[in-house]
Amino acid sequence: MSDPMDTIRAGFFEECGELMEVLEAGLLALQDGTSDADTIASIFRAVHSVKGGAGAFDMASLVAFAHDFETLLDGVRSGTVAQSPALVATLLRAADRLSDLIELSRDGREPTDDFDELAAHLRDLETASPPVGDFTPVALDFGLDPDPEPEPAEQAAAASDAPQDMLTWQIAFRPHSELFSSGNEPLFLFRALAVLGRIAVSIDDSALPNLANLDPDLASLAWRITLIPSANDLTETEIEAIFEFAEDLCDITLECAMAPASVAPAWPDAQLPTTTAPPAAAPPPPASPAKPVPPAGSVTPPPAAKTIRVDLDRVDRLVNLVGELVISQSMLARSISLAGHDGQSDIMDGLDGLQQLTRDIQDSVMSIRAQPVKSLFQRMTRIVREAAQATGKEVRLEVVGEGTEIDKTVVERLADPLTHMIRNAIDHGLESPAERLAAGKPQTGIVRLSAAQQSDRVVIEVTDDGRGIDRGRVLARAVARGLVEPDTRLETHEIDRLLFRPGFSTNDEVSQLSGRGVGLDVVQKAIRDLNGVVSIASEDGIGCSMSASLPLTLAILDGMVVTAANQRMVIPLSAIVETQTLASAKIRNLGPGRNVAALQGVFVPMVDLAQGMGFPPTQNTRDDDRAILFLRPGEAAAYALQVDAIDSQGQVVIKGLADAFGRVPCVSAATILGDGQVALIVDPTSLAEAAGLARAPRPATHLEIVA
């Protein structure tokens, strides 16, 4: 079994992530001037909780920094530190630093850079208010169970073997009334004392008034306790520790004396529990626990969010099983239809019900994995801040649709490509403040990050109001890099696509920020790995917009099942623009193996699916069935896909192949069809590339239809 502390440690870092989100969101509200006392309190608590947890794990540098940060925030909270834009900037920096320290602590590393200056700055800002309190991290060792406390009986036995001269303690204890109202109980204190040795307790009731004058809320009793410690080295501190919580709530004196054994008091052993009669001022005895009553004056608070934490593996197992259910259901449907039942029979009604239910279960299960993009978007605020600082540009980030939900894995794997897209927008898209002013634009550039659900996909978009893509420069660079032939005529969107070609970099000098030798091809690859597509749009002087369209889930795909070379394959519905029968399609031949087909008045290149996938050509399909699917995989130009037949359309369960086969060209995954057969899911983008379409666009694509 794993160490429970490891689990808690992992939980702590998970919690830190959530706390950092609260912190970021709060600081941004502070920056926008939309903060209130609750916001500041939540910011303070976030840092406070990080410190609290970190202290328990002895993460000294994290604790120290969090402490300085917290102290400053406490000043902000109490109003002793004035709010200003400069302060907010410092707080944001501190949040970034805190985030870094959390990551370092998670990896068990110590910071190598020196941020003492920031910590000192935090302290300087705070000087107006007194320190929050001492905080010394203490490493805890849960592994070592403390020795069970010895039973008083054993202690007594030990005491009887004590040397002749015994150290005795005389304790005079007179509780104040407040001791009882604070929930402390003298009897329990005496029991704790009895653990240290043998005790004799005598009660002093001389101050007790007669019953007629007794005020039950006042304390009138005092006790004298004689303690013979079982260990001779018992210190005053140990005794005081027992009365720690009674401090200020009682008069207490401790006297230590060496007493010969003979003078030791006689031990009326039964005395302890009985002589400590309930003190006159004891709180009302606990009522019978039969029926708890709500605390007085408690208003019914809004219910706390009812959530449970579930291991991701369990959810994935459920997702997998639902996939199998979908497959079984479609296999059942097929068997029933093969058995000759028509659309009116009871069994078909039942099947319809099952189908509906299956779909509902599937949606519900998928929604468990769904997560709002909010956390992802919040992380981007830091990226924007850092990029703005590195480039000397002024940037404001606008966020739209952060409540949009998408599969957890997609959210996690979007962080890198999204970071790159944002850096790219700031580095290459936005102009410097001076250039912007010269162009008649506001000095501060805007980067807009948005998410929106569009049917079964989520579109994440990064838009800037910068200069737009300099297409002349892009084309010149592409030619210089040998990516396109000189004098090639390209449509603007084709020029824009060049940005996604591997090795393309628009900056002549590698940019510190988004350069680093990687281009947008990395973004494209990451998005494609998530079954997504990237597209880009730009307008000169107005700005540029890059968007990633992603499936809601990585488990289910809406697809069209087609046949080619006697193989059934699935084409993602999201890529299909239009379907036509081969017979009705307008096709032109441009030479051997180079056909084009007309889509909405424009000829697009044609690819034979069987050929494209590398299957041997077959001719045993009836011509009437042959069809053409017009595909536009979002990021690539449209093309036509010739298939032998279109079988059906519907949802298929995605079964990854990467674990068993690695990356297979033209194939994104596989699925199991209703008849139990395996079918490959075609990746339309890589199919186009394999067919040579994504290379330099051909003049053929620009032929206007003449007929």
**At closest approach, how far in Å is the CB of 35 from another protein?**
15
**428, 538 contact by CB (below 8 A):** no
Task: Please give the Cα distance from 484 to 488 (Å, whole number).
Answer: 7
Q: How far is CA 13 from the centre of its chain?
A: 11
Helix (H, G, I), strand (E, B) or coil at 455: coil
Q: How far is CA 63 from the centre of its chain?
A: 22
Among 33, 163, 284, 662, binds another protein (CB under 8 A): 284
Interface region with another protein, contact rule CB under 8 A, candidates 161-169, 239-247, 527-535, 663-671: 239-247
142 binds another protein (CB under 8 A): yes
Residue closer to another protein by CB (options 138, 660) is 138
Interface region with another protein, contact rule CB under 8 A, candidates 5-13, 114-122, 221-229, 534-542: 5-13
283 binds another protein (CB under 8 A): yes
Among 45, 457, 497, 528, binds another protein (CB under 8 A): 45
Among 1, 153, 212, 304, binds another protein (CB under 8 A): 304
Q: Report the 3 state secondary structure along 142-161.
A: CCCCCCCCCCHHHHHHHHHC
Task: Please give the Cα distance from 323 to 332 (Å, whole number).
Answer: 14
Maximum separation of any 2 CA atoms in the chain, in Å: 126
650 binds another protein (CB under 8 A): no
12 binds another protein (CB under 8 A): yes
Among 21, 31, 39, 41, binds another protein (CB under 8 A): 41
Task: Please give the Cα distance from 55 to 63 (Å, whole number).
Answer: 6
Residue closer to another protein by CB (options 241, 437) is 241
42 binds another protein (CB under 8 A): yes
Among 133, 163, 486, 517, binds another protein (CB under 8 A): 133
379 binds another protein (CB under 8 A): no
Interface region with another protein, contact rule CB under 8 A, candidates 140-148, 373-381, 454-462, 684-692: 140-148
Among 138, 211, 212, 707, binds another protein (CB under 8 A): 138
Give the interface size with another protein as a residue count (CB under 8 A). 66
In the stretch 588-617, what mask flags binding to another protein with x, by CB under 8 A? ------------------------------
Radius of gyration of the chain (CA): 37
Task: Please give the Cα distance from 650 to 648 (Å, whole number).
Answer: 7
Q: Rounded to the nearest 5°, which phi and psi values hold at 365? A: -65, -40
Helix (H, G, I), strand (E, B) or coil at 240: helix
403 binds another protein (CB under 8 A): no
Strands (E) located in 582-705? 587-589, 595-599, 602-608, 627-631, 639-643, 645-653, 667-672, 678-682
Task: Please give the Cα distance from 490 to 77 (Å, whole number).
Answer: 59
Among 33, 108, 260, 297, binds another protein (CB under 8 A): 297
**At closest approach, how far in Å is the CB of 49 from another protein?**
4
Residue whose token pair is 């303070």: 44
In the stretch 180-219, what mask flags binding to another protein with x, by CB under 8 A? -xxxxx-xxx-xx---------------------------
Interface region with another protein, contact rule CB under 8 A, candidates 295-303, 324-332, 573-581, 647-655: 295-303
Residue closer to another protein by CB (options 98, 406) is 98
287 binds another protein (CB under 8 A): yes
Within 10 angstroms of residue 705's Cβ, the number of other Cβ atoms is: 13
286 binds another protein (CB under 8 A): yes
**351, 336 contact by CB (below 8 A):** yes
84 binds another protein (CB under 8 A): no
Among 149, 352, 398, 412, binds another protein (CB under 8 A): 149
Strands (E) located in 246-290? 250-260
Distant-in-sequence, close-in-space partners of 352: CB < 8 Å, separation ≥ 6? none
301 binds another protein (CB under 8 A): yes
**At closest approach, how far in Å is the CB of 283 from another protein?**
4
83 binds another protein (CB under 8 A): no
Residue closer to another protein by CB (options 42, 648) is 42
Q: Residue 115, by phi and psi: left (phi above 0), alpha (psi -120 to 50) or beta?
A: alpha
Among 33, 292, 403, 601, binds another protein (CB under 8 A): 292
In sequence order, the β-bridge partners of residue 458 are 453, 550
Residue closer to another protein by CB (options 283, 515) is 283
Task: Please give the Cα distance from 237 to 79 (Å, whole number).
Answer: 39
Sheet holding 667-672, edge to edge: 645-653, 556-564, 567-572, 678-682, 667-672
**At closest approach, how far in Å is the CB of 265 from another protein?**
23
Residue closer to another protein by CB (options 12, 69) is 12
Interface region with another protein, contact rule CB under 8 A, candidates 27-35, 134-142, 437-445, 591-599: 134-142
Among 108, 163, 260, 289, binds another protein (CB under 8 A): 289
293 binds another protein (CB under 8 A): yes
**At closest approach, how far in Å is the CB of 169 from another protein?**
17
Residue closer to another protein by CB (options 45, 457) is 45
Residue whose token pair is 């230590």: 256
**631, 575 contact by CB (below 8 A):** yes
Q: Residue 469, by phi and psi: left (phi above 0), alpha (psi -120 to 50) or beta?
A: beta
Among 20, 28, 43, 56, binds another protein (CB under 8 A): 56
461 binds another protein (CB under 8 A): no
Among 33, 163, 260, 294, binds another protein (CB under 8 A): 294
Which tokens is 542 given? Answer: 């107005």
Could you tell me the CA-to-CA distances from 530 to 324, 409, 606, 650 in Å, in that order? 22, 9, 26, 20
465 binds another protein (CB under 8 A): no
Among 107, 113, 244, 509, binds another protein (CB under 8 A): 244
In sequence order, the β-bridge partners of residue 114 are none
Helix (H, G, I), strand (E, B) or coil at 276: coil
Residue closer to another protein by CB (options 245, 661) is 245
143 binds another protein (CB under 8 A): no
Task: Please give the Cα distance from 211 to 280 (Å, whole number).
Answer: 10
* Nearest alpha carbon to residue 77 among 47, 112, 106: 47
Helix (H, G, I), strand (E, B) or coil at 395: strand
Could you tell me the CA-to-CA distances from 674 to 158, 329, 330, 386, 407 in Å, in that order? 79, 8, 5, 51, 26
**At closest approach, how far in Å is the CB of 566 from another protein?**
56
**At closest approach, how far in Å is the CB of 162 from another protein?**
24
Could you tell me the CA-to-CA distances from 129 to 47, 72, 75 in Å, in that order? 18, 9, 6
**At closest approach, how far in Å is the CB of 149 from another protein?**
8
Distant-in-sequence, close-in-space partners of 16: CB < 8 Å, separation ≥ 6? 50, 53, 102
Instruction: List residues binding another protein (CB under 8 A).
Output: 4-5, 7-8, 11-12, 14-15, 41-42, 44-45, 48-49, 51-53, 55-56, 132-135, 137-138, 140, 142, 145-146, 149, 178, 181-185, 187-189, 191-192, 242, 244-245, 247-249, 282-287, 289-298, 301-302, 304
